[in-house]
């Protein structure tokens, strides 16, 4: 009977669609790579805890994931490029950690992404143009890195660049 109960528990865990934990639970420690095996997971919201270490590359296997909220933790790794495999992802919020390195250009594959927030980390470099292009051709409505970039802001910036370019052509 105990083996059957264990198998049922394992099946229930694999069928999980949502994992949510915020400050009230106070989770600490690291994220385990086995999280990437929860194929039905749609919402992984482990924000405002004391989670440290790296973001497992296996999270890129969560192909049903809609929301990945790991903000306000103590994560210290680079952003895994494997997250670009989660084509269903609409919300990626990793802000207020200690993430290092650059923003992977492969994140441009996340064409359903609505919100990308990476501010308050130790990221270096610039936002790759491929990722910026999601503001124009994807669903991305808000990109927060060092400052907020919205689709309207980017279109206004583009319009100013066109006006300046036109002015330079007509005066030259």
pLDDT tens digits along 101-142: 999 999 999 999 999 999 999 988 888 888 888 887 778 888
CA–CA dist 142, 156 (Å, integer) = 14
Low-confidence residues of the chain: pLDDT under 50: 1-4
Predicted pLDDT of residue 25: 57
Say what the pLDDT of residue 155 is.
66
User: Which pLDDT score is estimated for 135?
Assistant: 80
At 8 the pLDDT is 58
* pLDDT confidence of residue 69: 97
> H or E element: which one contains 29?
strand 28-30
Asked whether the beta carbons of 47 and 20 are under 8 A apart, the reply is no
CB 76 within 8 Å of CB 53: yes
pLDDT for res 75: 97
Can you tell me the distance from the alpha carbon of 144 to that of 160, in angstroms, rounded to the nearest whole number?
A: 21
Alpha-carbon dihedral angle through residues 51, 54, 57, 59, given to the nearest 10 degrees = 10
pTM over 0.75: yes
CATH 3.80.10.10 for domain 2-171, yes or no, is yes
Length of the chain as a residue count = 172
Q: What is the largest CA-CA distance in the chain?
A: 85
Residue 49: the pLDDT is: 92
């Amino acid at each position: 009977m105990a083996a059957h109960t264990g198998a049922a528990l394992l099946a229930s865990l694999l069928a999980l669609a949502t994992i949510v934990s915020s400050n009230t639970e106070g989770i600490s420690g690291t994220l385990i790579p086995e999280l990437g095996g929860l194929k039905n997971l749609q919402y992984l919201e482990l924000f405002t805890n004391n989670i440290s270490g790296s973001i497992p590359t296996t999270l890129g296997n969560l192909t049903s994931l809609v929301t990945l909220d790991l903000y306000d933790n103590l994560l210290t790794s680079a952003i895994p490029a494997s997250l670009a495999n989660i084509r269903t992802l609409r919300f990626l919020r990793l802000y207020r950690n200690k993430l290092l390195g650059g923003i992977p250009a492969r994140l441009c594959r996340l064409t359903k992404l609505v919100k990308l927030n990476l501010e308050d980390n130790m990221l270096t470099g610039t936002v790759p143009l491929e990722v910026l292009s999601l503001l124009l051709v994807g669903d991305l409505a808000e990109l927060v890195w060092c400052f907020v970039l919205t689709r309207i802001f980017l279109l206004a910036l583009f319009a100013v660049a066109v006006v300046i370019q036109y002015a330079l052509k007509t005066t030259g």
